[in-house]
């Protein structure tokens, strides 16, 4: 069998290092020994396949998971998943989770003094369509304090988990909102030096997907790693 | 056209909200061919403290060494009975567990076979991107010729090989940092 084409290695300063002391939790959890460069074999370029049997058609609407309406501002979050060559990545599973409008997670670890919303669990999932499009209807999440440093607050964000066609495309990231004054103070958002890379984590307001008299639209495209054009021999 | 891949961000402490619905600790339904194996382990940090908020994902071939993925040219029909994907969220003791089958050997670089292995991806608060590592099976003579294990300094290879704990039971622990640190890959 011919060696599969490897995935491209990350572009300089666009992916975080493990140790980033401004984000205090990295200090005891980042590997300290040298990493071993992994060749991309069949084990790395394949990935699990998910289908419509795995999710419910309603899983993309986080506002309709309980008998009542959740509190807060309804928003549409949509976009496309592409690879680095601009090709859509169809039929992949996206999972999201987030705080409610008051900045509180529905989770036992979150003890922030803000109300739980009994009508909002904050989790959703969809598959991308044939052109790589995805769409969620949800509530705009609130900002919330955390204990990383004095007076630390997380900017509003939605957690995204994506599978790709190959395991090397697996990505967990966070989507932010335009104009959030907390972004520049956030050690997660600022974990990479490249400002353009940071900017790509921020969604844009979008008239086209805004639903009149119902929900504002935010657009966010996600790019997964692309592949080298041809297999390279003895890549290390 | 050249875009840049989206920057990875931490999974954070609230991963259960988004990921618990698809916890898959039993990968092999009755009827799936292959040697049954139970894998258990814990994750500890630099101070030896258990990591109780990690997601551990495994990806593996079937007993014939084929992946249930369209990217495997040998996968003529995708066998939905064995997807080869598992996800376990660590408990308060930092423990994860899987029940699966031992995969067959899969093709490696230059036509060399790779020894049976699982690719392991780990996410947690405090990691801005995932850790990627591998689990190999104990007492398998094919480990000696494995092209990926061969890239690992000999003194550290043992961290990637599970330990036998009785009949069809394996233990494989993950040490994030320190003297006995598990080997992680630059992927």
pLDDT band at A55 (very low <50, low <70, confident <90, very high): very high
Among B19, B61, B177, whose Cβ lies nearest the Cβ of A31? B177
| H-type alpha helices, chain B | 15-19
Tell me which chain A residue has its CA closest to the CA of residue B117. A43
B115 to each of A9, A121, A233, B104, B146, how far by Cα in Å? 25, 43, 20, 8, 5
Q: What is the pLDDT of residue A95?
A: 98
Alpha carbon distance B142, B115 (integer Å) = 5
Whether B18 and chain A come into contact, CB under 8 Å, resolves to yes
Whether A229 and chain B come into contact, CB under 8 Å, resolves to no
pLDDT band at B78 (very low <50, low <70, confident <90, very high): low
Q: What is the pLDDT of residue B137?
A: 98
Shortest CA distance to B9 belongs to which of A84, A183, A173, A149?
A: A173
For chain B, give every domain's residue range: 15-175
Whether B71 and chain A come into contact, CB under 8 Å, resolves to yes
Pairing of strands A216-219, B54-59: unpaired
Alpha carbon distance A35, B130 (integer Å) = 13
- Sign of the Cα pseudo-torsion (B141, B142, B144, B149, in order): negative
Query: Distance between alpha carbon A83 and the CA centroid of its chain, in Å?
Result: 15
Residue A236 has pLDDT above 60, yes or no: no
Whether B22 and chain A come into contact, CB under 8 Å, resolves to yes
DSSP B149: G
Whether A65 and chain B come into contact, CB under 8 Å, resolves to no
pLDDT band at A231 (very low <50, low <70, confident <90, very high): low
- The percentage of chain A sitting over the pLDDT mark of 90, rounded to a whole number, equals 93
Give first-to-last CA distance, chain B, whole Å. 23
Contact B170, B143 (CB under 8 A): no
Q: What's the mean pLDDT in A145-174?
A: 97
| Residue found by looking up tokens 């660590």 in the block | B90
Write down the CATH number for the domain with range A24-224. 2.60.130.10
Alpha carbon distance A87, A83 (integer Å) = 5
pLDDT band at A217 (very low <50, low <70, confident <90, very high): very high
Contact B132, B187 (CB under 8 A): yes
**A199, containing H or E segment:** helix A195-199
Whether A85 and chain B come into contact, CB under 8 Å, resolves to yes
Longest dimension (CA), chain B: 54
Q: Which residue of B1, B2, B4 is the best one to mutate when testing the A interface, meaning the one whose CB has the most A CBs within 10 A?
A: B4
Q: What's the mean pLDDT in A168-190?
A: 98
> Three-state DSSP class for B110?
helix
Query: If DSSP states are collapsed to H, E and C, what string results for A119-167?
Result: CCCCEEEEECCCCCEEEEEEECCCCEEECCCCCEEECCEEEEEECCCCH
Q: What's the mean pLDDT in A75-92?
A: 98
> Three-state DSSP class for B13?
coil
Contact B25, B86 (CB under 8 A): yes
Shortest CA distance to B176 belongs to which of B56, B13, B87, B34?
A: B56
Sheet holding B117-124, edge to edge: B85-89, B54-59, B117-124, B131-136
In the beta sheet, which residues pair with residue B99? B26, B38
Tell me which chain A residue has its CA closest to the CA of residue B157. A36
Q: Which residue of B5, B87, B100, B177 is the best one to mutate when testing the A interface, meaning the one whose CB has the most A CBs within 10 A?
A: B5
> Catalytic positions of A, please?
105, 144, 154, 157, 159
pLDDT band at A2 (very low <50, low <70, confident <90, very high): confident
Q: What's the mean pLDDT in B114-143?
A: 98
Tell me which chain B residue has its CA closest to the CA of residue A195. B7
The shares of helix, strand and coil residues in chain B, as percent rounded to the nearest 5, are: 15, 30, 55
Q: Which residue of B1, B2, B8, B118 is the best one to mutate when testing the A interface, meaning the one whose CB has the most A CBs within 10 A?
A: B8
Among B1, B14, B127, whose Cβ lies nearest the Cβ of A97? B14
pTM of the model: 0.97
Among A38, A121, A224, whose Cβ lies nearest the Cβ of B186? A38
Residue A158 has pLDDT above 60, yes or no: yes
Q: What is the pLDDT of residue A235?
A: 46
- Structural tokens at position A31: 């590997």
For chain A, give every domain's residue range: 24-224
Q: A121: distance to nearest CA of chain B, Å?
A: 8
Alpha carbon distance A27, A19 (integer Å) = 6
Residue A5 has pLDDT above 90, yes or no: yes
Alpha carbon distance B108, A66 (integer Å) = 49
Q: B178: distance to nearest CA of chain A, Å?
A: 7
Write down the CATH number for the domain with range B15-175. 2.60.130.10
Alpha carbon distance A86, B186 (integer Å) = 24
- Residues of chain A neighbouring B7 (CB-CB closer than 8 A): 14-16, 173, 191-192, 197-198, 200-201
Shortest CA distance to B39 belongs to which of B180, B186, B171?
A: B171
Q: What is the ipTM of this complex?
A: 0.96
Alpha carbon distance A22, A190 (integer Å) = 9
Residue A171 has pLDDT above 50, yes or no: yes
Whether B9 and chain A come into contact, CB under 8 Å, resolves to yes
Q: What's the mean pLDDT in A140-151?
A: 96
Contact A98, A138 (CB under 8 A): yes
Neighbours of B32 (CB within 10 A): 15
Residue A232 has pLDDT above 80, yes or no: no
Residue B79 has pLDDT above 80, yes or no: no
A203 to each of A176, A219, A226, B55, how far by Cα in Å? 6, 5, 22, 26
pLDDT band at A108 (very low <50, low <70, confident <90, very high): confident
Q: What's the mean pLDDT in A175-185?
A: 98
Whether A117 and chain B come into contact, CB under 8 Å, resolves to no
- Structural tokens at position B187: 């992927």
Contact A201, A176 (CB under 8 A): yes
């Amino acid at each position: 069998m011919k060696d599969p084409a490897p995935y491209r290695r990350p572009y300089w300063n666009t992916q975080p290092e493990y140790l980033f002391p401004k984000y205090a939790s990295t200090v005891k959890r980042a590997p300290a020994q040298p990493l071993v460069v992994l060749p991309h074999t069949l084990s790395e370029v394949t990935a699990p396949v998910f289908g419509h049997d795995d999710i419910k058609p309603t899983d993309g609407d986080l506002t309709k998971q309980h008998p009542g309406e959740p509190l807060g501002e309804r928003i549409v979050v949509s976009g496309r998943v592409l690879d680095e060559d601009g090709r859509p990545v169809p039929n992949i599973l996206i999972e999201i989770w987030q705080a409610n409008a008051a900045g509180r997670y529905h989770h036992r670890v979150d003890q922030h003094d803000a109300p739980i919303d009994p009508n909002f669990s904050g989790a959703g999932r969809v598959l991308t369509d044939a052109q790589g499009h995805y769409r969620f209807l949800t509530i705009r999440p609130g900002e919330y304090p955390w204990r990383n440093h004095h007076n630390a607050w997380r900017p509003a964000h939605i957690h995204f988990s994506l599978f790709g066609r190959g395991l090397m495309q697996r990505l967990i990231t966070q989507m932010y909102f335009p104009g959030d004054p907390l972004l520049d103070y956030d050690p997660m958002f600022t974990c990479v030096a490249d400002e353009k890379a940071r900017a790509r984590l921020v969604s844009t307001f979008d008239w086209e997907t805004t639903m009149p008299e119902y929900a504002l639209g935010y657009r966010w495209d996600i790019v997964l790693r692309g592949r080298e054009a041809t297999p390279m021999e003895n890549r290390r | 056209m050249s875009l840049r891949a989206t920057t990875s961000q931490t999974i954070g402490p609230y991963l259960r909200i988004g990921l618990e619905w698809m916890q898959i600790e039993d990968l092999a339904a009755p009827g799936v061919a292959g040697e049954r194996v139970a894998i258990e382990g814990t994750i500890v940090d630099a101070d030896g403290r258990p990591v109780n908020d990690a997601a551990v994902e495994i990806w593996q071939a079937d007993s014939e060494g084929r992946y249930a993925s369209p990217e495997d040219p040998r996968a003529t029909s995708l066998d939905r009975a064995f997807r080869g994907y598992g996800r376990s969220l660590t408990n308060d003791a930092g423990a994860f567990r899987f029940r699966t089958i031992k995969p067959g050997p899969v093709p490696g670089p230059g036509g060399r076979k790779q020894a049976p292995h699982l690719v392991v991806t780990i996410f947690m608060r405090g990691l801005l991107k995932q850790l990627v590592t591998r689990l190999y099976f104990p007492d398998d003579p094919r480990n000696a010729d494995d092209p990926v294990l061969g890239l690992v300094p000999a003194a550290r290879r043992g961290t990637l090989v599970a330990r036998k704990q009785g009949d069809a039971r394996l233990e494989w622990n993950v040490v994030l940092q320190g003297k006995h640190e598990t080997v992680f890959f630059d992927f």
